Amino acid sequence: MKIATWNVNSIRSRLEQVLAWLQTNPVDVLCLQETKVVDKDFPLQPFIDIGYNCYISGQKSYNGVAIFSRLPMADISTGFTPLLGTDLVGEFDEQKRLITGIIADIRIINLYVPNGSEVGSEKYLYKLNWLKLLQEYLKSIIDKSPNLCVCGDFNIAPDDRDIHNPKAFKNQIMASPAERQALEEIIELGFSDAFRQFTSEGGHFSWWDYRTGGFSRNRGWRIDHHYLSLSLCDRAKSCTIDKTPRQLPKPSDHAPVIVEI
């Protein structure tokens, strides 16, 4: 089974690129982030026409997540609330950032982690609190669904190998100690970074800033991830980043990341 994650930075703007990529790379599951469209306006039919089942959770102009799968998925839910309840979650599910479902024996959790804007800001605090909530969510679900693939745009570079110039961004957003610690605590629940199972060296990125020739100079960050529960690690065959769509005119600033299980 091939599972891809891709922050498309607006599905309506990248619709033809995503469809063309799927024709060339007919993955079993595609998880999208930053779809930026309410559910009633989501362009579902083109994906149905090429054989995908569609599960969406969106909002206008911001955020939004979706899962497309060749086989129907079971137990679909969105947000933290179905598992953790409204008292704990509060207003965090107002932003559409999480969708999950089961295919075969694997539960896939598709995430769009908040960016955080800048260290010390209100949005940064929101991001850290969101990650704490995610930790509680995963604690609650991992015993019920031991075969987990948690994927998406995490907006965190796990370590300095994952940034083109780590000294320049030391303690900055997406690389601050608190963000990395929050991610490490999630991993310690019983997950492994699928990409690092197969590739240890630096210089491999999934996001490049549109500004300052980020892509042409390979000034990127690896912030899009697949985390596999330990029961899935031995079943993983590969994990790769496909930079091809980033070379297109008017691309998303992210590239797809594909894990094969």
- Which is more confidently placed, 213 or 22? 22
At 51-110, the pLDDT tens digits run: 999 999 999 999 999 999 999 999 999 999 999 999 999 999 999 999 999 999 999 999
Q: Shortest CA distance to 243 belongs to which of 259, 258, 255, 226?
A: 255
**CATH number reported for the structural domain that contains residue 73 in this entry:** 3.60.10.10
166-175 long-range contacts, CB within 8 A, separation 24+? 171/119, 172/118, 172/119, 173/115, 173/116, 173/117, 173/118, 173/119, 173/124, 174/115, 174/116, 174/221, 174/223
Go through the chain and tell me how many residues it has: 261
pLDDT at 212: 79
Structural domain boundaries, residue 216: 2-260
Q: Check: pTM over 0.85? Answer yes or no.
A: yes
Q: Which pLDDT does position 175 carry in this prediction?
A: 98
The residue written with tokens 């797809």 in the block is 256
Taking only the tens place, the pLDDT of each residue in 135-188 is 999 999 998 999 999 999 999 999 999 999 999 999 999 999 999 999 999 999
Per-residue pLDDT tens digits for 182-241: 999 999 999 999 999 999 999 999 999 998 789 999 999 999 999 999 999 999 999 999
pLDDT of residue 1: 98
pLDDT at 136: 98
Do 32 and 69 form a contact (C-beta atoms < 8 A)? no
If one counts the domains in the chain, the total is 1
Please list the active-site residues.
112, 153
pLDDT of residue 211: 86
Question: Which pLDDT value is given to residue 235?
Answer: 96
